Amino acid sequence: MDMDSVEESHEIVIVGGGICGLATALALHRKGLRSIILERSDTLRDTGAAIGIRANGWRALDQLGVASDLRQRAVSIHRMRDIWTDVGKQQEIPEIGECRCLKRNDLIKALADALPPGTVHFGRQIVSVNMDRENAYPTLQLYGDKSIRAKVLIGCDGSRSTVADFIGLKSTKLFAILTVRGLTNYPNGHAFDHELTRMRRDKTLVGRVPITDKLVYWFVAQQWTPSGEKLTHDPEVIKRLTSSAVTGFPSDVIEMIEGAEMDSLSLTRLRHRAPWDLLLTSFRKGTVTVAGDAMHVMGPFLGQGGSAALEDAVILARCLAQKVGAEDLSS
């Protein structure tokens, strides 16, 4: 590409303004490194009801300087409990370390509010990434025939990452599972323990975790055979399908689904990157790399997607700061 046609140049460009992208920009800011975020939507993306943050994620949030306020927004979860409702069996896992479930938009807002003004550039969707032959810097082609050059490019653009495609990572794979996520508010308070409860019956898994003493996050996962049809985004349909899926579960589960906040409901197919692909893959091409789901998307039953993304942000910023302190970013 003729560099005269490049409209902007930046030291560090982050693609994707979700949790990982915002956290990466904030971690860089804490190290004195300026970056910009290219976000394809017109506003901050807070889709998804809530997200569980484990001990490693809270350590990262402490490093980012936003943990104290967020801790006030969610109760501490003390243990996990697995229940097999059809056979009457259960197993308790105590002492799981610091764990809290946050509303996703609370986490997004905390990260975004801590960034310098103008860090996030909305309505900027990348079409492709190319490496300049003269200086080996990446150039991003955007919709609208605009282009941006970066010295360092970090893809935080999710499980279908354009940046990961440029690096040459294998495509992510679908789990044979569909998951509904939602929030239920109990105006007079709920009686649930401060624990992550997972209930299994036949081929259905229900997870429940309190956010506060009045708000509960839950998910319902079912086995699913890919058929090519599009997933519905209609909350009424999602609620009806979910109510059917929990037939036979305890009454408090059925009532929880019936009382769900309609605007919190989402239906998604789960994706992952195989562990052997992670072990055998290089996640760098020149000064281009990826983080978060773009690198290691995983199923929510591991409870580490958000925490791992926050860790990525802190560690990547630390490494870049050390590199900048020693020599030029391009080497």
Q: Where are the domains of the chain?
A: 3-78+98-172+274-326, 174-271
Its CATH class, for the domain covering 174-271, is alpha beta
Residue 197 pLDDT: 95
| Cα distances (angstroms) measured from residue 111 to each of 30, 115, 188, 281 | 12, 7, 31, 30
Which two tokens mark 284?
Answer: 């760098």
Residue 3 pLDDT: 46
Model-level pTM greater than 0.85? yes
Which two tokens mark 269?
Answer: 């197919």
Residue 183 pLDDT: 97
Residue 209 pairs in a beta bridge with 217
Q: Please state, in angstroms and rounded to a whole number, the distance separating the CA atoms of residues 281 and 166.
A: 13
Long-range pairs, 162-165, Cβ under 8 A, ≥24: 162/15, 162/126, 162/127, 162/128, 162/129, 163/15, 163/126, 163/129, 163/288, 163/290, 163/294, 164/290, 164/294, 164/295
Residue 269 pLDDT: 87
Q: Please state, in angstroms and rounded to a whole number, the distance separating the CA atoms of residues 298 and 281.
A: 16
The conformation of residue 274, written as its DSSP 8-state character, comes to -
Q: Are 167 and 289 in contact (CB under 8 A)?
A: yes
Residue 125 pLDDT: 93
Q: Are 26 and 111 in contact (CB under 8 A)?
A: yes
Residue 173 pLDDT: 84
Q: Name the CATH topology of 3-78+98-172+274-326.
A: FAD/NAD(P)-binding domain (3.50.50)
For every one of its 331 residues, what pLDDT tens digit does the chain have, with 9 covering 90 and above? 444 456 789 999 999 999 999 999 999 999 999 999 999 999 997 666 899 999 999 999 999 999 999 999 999 999 999 999 888 888 988 877 899 999 999 999 999 999 999 999 999 999 999 998 877 899 999 998 899 999 999 999 999 999 999 999 988 888 888 999 999 999 999 999 999 999 999 999 999 999 999 999 999 999 876 666 678 889 999 999 999 999 999 999 999 999 999 999 999 888 888 888 888 788 999 999 999 999 999 877 677 889 999 999 999 999 999 988 645 554 4
